Every structure is written in structure tokens, then in C-alpha cells.
Amino acid sequence: MDKILAALTLAACAVLLARLLMGETRRWRFDAAVRRGWFATQRRFWLMWHWRASKRAAARAAEDAIRRARQKDGGEWEGNVYKPKSFRKPPNKLH
């Protein structure tokens, strides 16, 4: 554990020394690249952490939508097609 901590400290010092030796424009680009990498890493960890929960929530929402659609107006199923009663047209009354 001590060797890992020492290696990380040495790597951080080397990066900071290299940053000090860069010119101003390169330092701005380097800082922007590090910032983009940090935000991308945060986003990936967040997505990995919340993936299962969002998958469950999506499945639950889909089941609720299907249940509401089936109970809404009492339509009929013809094979794979659902025909709600609200789609039925009233008979044409000719004058």
C-alpha cells in the first residue's frame, strides 16, 4: 500500500512539474484536456452507478403505461393489434 501511494504521489508531482514547464497556451490546452477527462470519468461512473436503477424504472413505467392503456376504455385485442372503443365511428345518419 505504501508503494502505491508513493507512486501516485510521484506521478502527481511529475505532472505538476511538467505543467509548470509548459508555456501559457499549452498549459490552457492541458488544463482543458484534464478537465474534459475528469468530467467524462465522472459521467461514466455516474452512468454505471445508476444504470440498473434506470433500467428498472423504465420497465416499471412501461408496465404502468401498458396497464393504463388496457384499462382506459375497454377496447379489444385482435391478435397483436389493440383497437380502443374511442376509435369506433358513429354510424352515418343520412338526411
- The domain segmentation of the chain, as residue ranges, is 2-65
Say which amino acid occupies 39.
F
CA nearest to 70, candidates 83, 53, 52: 83
Mean pLDDT for 3-21 is 95
Would you state the cell numbers that stand for residue 76, as one nine-digit string? 379489444
- What are the tens digits of pLDDT across the range 23-53? 999 999 999 999 999 999 999 998 888 888 8
Q: CB of 61 within 8 A of CB of 69?
A: no
Burial 31-50 (b: 16+ CB within 10 A, else e): eeeeeeeeeeeeeeeeeeee
Q: CB of 85 within 8 A of CB of 74?
A: yes
**Average pLDDT value over all residues in the chain:** 86
Q: CB of 69 within 8 A of CB of 82?
A: yes
Q: What is the DSSP letter of 74?
A: -
| pTM of the predicted protein model | 0.46
Q: CB of 53 within 8 A of CB of 43?
A: no
